[in-house]
Amino acid sequence: MFGARSSSLVGLGVVFAIGLTFVGCGGGGGKSATRIAQPAVSVTTTQAATVAPAAVTSATSFSATPPAATVAPVTVTSAPTDAPAPAPTATVAYAGAAGTSAAAMCAGAAEVLPTATVASGDLIELSGLASSRLSDGVLWAHNDSGDTARVFAMDARGGVIATYTLAGADASDWEDIAVGPGASRDAAELYVGDIGDNARARADVVVYRLREPKVTRGGAPVAATVADVERLTLHYPDGPHDAETLMIDPVSGDLIIVTKDTAGSEVFRVAGTLDAGATVTLELVGRIDFGSLKRRVAFPDDAPVLARVGGAFATGGDISASGDMMAIRTYSTVWLWSRSPGQSIGEALAGAPCEAATAAEKQGEAIALDADGRGYVTSSEGEHPLLHHFRSN
């Protein structure tokens, strides 16, 4: 959400360099062998009211071409002596089949037309998107602050096919959603990030974890309640932060939060194998100055204000199902990073990103990489927002 404390856009300039500083990556807590039981779900099937989409025109977009953004040398420093011991380097295979590379995506992704529109009038502050790992062509979505604790399953055309209420959860300031590996190959977990803090006043933030429901397209939309919802309470080591980016590493299961700061976003992690109800301190693993990343293509003067000048604010992110590509968006730009086997997320984000095709959205806060790793979807807050789908050749 773009609140009062996040509105310092006057005088924001784009500097033609990048400044990144990363610190060592430490370990996290463990979790028992039994992860999450299948949630008890009480389902009521209802016929959703027909909502006529508002008349819209496609937003301005562009396709970026290489070379990647020029970067300054990266400085890597050792972790403080009192920091947790470094976690072992991940050597397990990626969770899913690799799609295209970040460089290929930046060079060749083009928008799929016609552009879809979110049909439901309930998703007016769409803040997070994630591609289902269990149901082909399904996107998970949620609203920003002001809604109840619920997530929506949408098809590729923007129609809501299921709505799930998270029993016992609060919706203070939900900002992003992610999908992570489950206890078995035929299971996955949803993570919903109640991590927004415009006033920088929250002592802790919360991430909710639940077994991803299997969604069937066709037929009447479903309304259901998920009873088995786990609450993970997270504490920043250096005081409160506003954040809108939540990602799950499919390789290690680590939970990643990227803050929304004009002075440079900080990257935090915590081990994903956390027990339900855990309260843990996040570990700082890097910094990214989005305001200093050089954009090669600027939107015209008649584009939405945030699309033109909001490039310093990280508003959403995702990691591919294979774990080899990361996407973080701002109001202005989609940035992609490649990741080599054995690299941690912090190490991969220390590399140079490339600029991918982006639509000029009014208040773009959501991004989801396609399940096959060959495209991504972005969207904005507002009534009946467009779903801009970009695919690599």
> Regarding predicted confidence, which is higher, 171 or 92?
171
The answer, yes or no, to whether residue 29 has pLDDT greater than 90, is no
> Regarding predicted confidence, which is higher, 172 or 11?
172
User: Contact 125/378 with Cβ under 8 angstroms?
Assistant: no
CA distances from 87 to 24, 270, 289, 349 (A): 9, 11, 25, 17
* Residue range 129-158: mean pLDDT, rounded: 96
pLDDT band at 371 (very low <50, low <70, confident <90, very high): very high
- The CATH number covering residue 283 comes to 2.120.10
pLDDT the model gives residue 97: 58
User: For 319-345, how does the pLDDT look when each residue is reduced to its tens digit (9 = 90+)?
Assistant: 999 999 999 999 999 999 999 999 999
* Residue range 191-198: mean pLDDT, rounded: 97
The answer, yes or no, to whether residue 170 has pLDDT greater than 90, is yes
pLDDT the model gives residue 306: 97
Residue type at position 334: V
* Residue range 95-124: mean pLDDT, rounded: 88
pLDDT the model gives residue 99: 72
pLDDT the model gives residue 249: 97
- C-alpha to C-alpha distance for 17 and 339, rounded to whole angstroms: 21
- C-alpha to C-alpha distance for 355 and 363, rounded to whole angstroms: 19
Tokens at 331, concatenated: 């109001």
* Residue range 298-313: mean pLDDT, rounded: 96
Judge whether 55 lies within some domain: no
* Residue range 244-268: mean pLDDT, rounded: 96
- C-alpha to C-alpha distance for 93 and 97, rounded to whole angstroms: 10
Judge whether 177 lies within some domain: yes
Segments forming the whole domain that contains residue 294: 90-391
Residue type at position 117: T
The answer, yes or no, to whether residue 175 has pLDDT greater than 90, is yes
pLDDT the model gives residue 1: 52
pLDDT the model gives residue 119: 95
Judge whether 274 lies within some domain: yes
> H helices of the chain, where?
102-108, 305-309, 345-349
Judge whether 334 lies within some domain: yes
- C-alpha to C-alpha distance for 335 and 355, rounded to whole angstroms: 5
User: For 33-83, how does the pLDDT look when each residue is reduced to its tens digit (9 = 90+)?
Assistant: 333 333 333 333 333 333 333 333 334 444 443 333 333 333 333 333 333
Residue type at position 340: S
CA distances from 146 to 10, 221, 232, 362, 377 (A): 27, 23, 21, 19, 24
Judge whether 327 lies within some domain: yes
SS3 content of the chain, % helix, strand, coil (to 5): 5, 35, 60
Length of the chain: 393
- C-alpha to C-alpha distance for 112 and 391, rounded to whole angstroms: 7
- DSSP letter, residue 277: T
Judge whether 179 lies within some domain: yes
Judge whether 22 lies within some domain: no
Short-list 247, 239, 292, CA closest to 267: 247
Tokens at 68, concatenated: 């990647």
- C-alpha to C-alpha distance for 274 and 127, rounded to whole angstroms: 25
User: Contact 369/318 with Cβ under 8 angstroms?
Assistant: yes
pLDDT band at 376 (very low <50, low <70, confident <90, very high): very high
- C-alpha to C-alpha distance for 288 and 273, rounded to whole angstroms: 26
Judge whether 18 lies within some domain: no
How many domains does the chain divide into?
A: 1
The answer, yes or no, to whether residue 124 has pLDDT greater than 90, is yes
The answer, yes or no, to whether residue 12 has pLDDT greater than 90, is no
pLDDT the model gives residue 220: 87
Kindly report the CA angle at 58 between 370 and 298, in degrees rounded to 5?
85
pLDDT the model gives residue 92: 29
pLDDT band at 100 (very low <50, low <70, confident <90, very high): confident
- C-alpha to C-alpha distance for 26 and 373, rounded to whole angstroms: 28
Q: What percent of the chain has pLDDT above 90?
A: 69
Tokens at 4, concatenated: 């009062």
pLDDT the model gives residue 67: 38
pLDDT the model gives residue 205: 98
User: Contact 366/316 with Cβ under 8 angstroms?
Assistant: yes
Q: What percent of the chain has pLDDT above 70?
A: 75
**Residue whose token pair is 């500097």:** 15
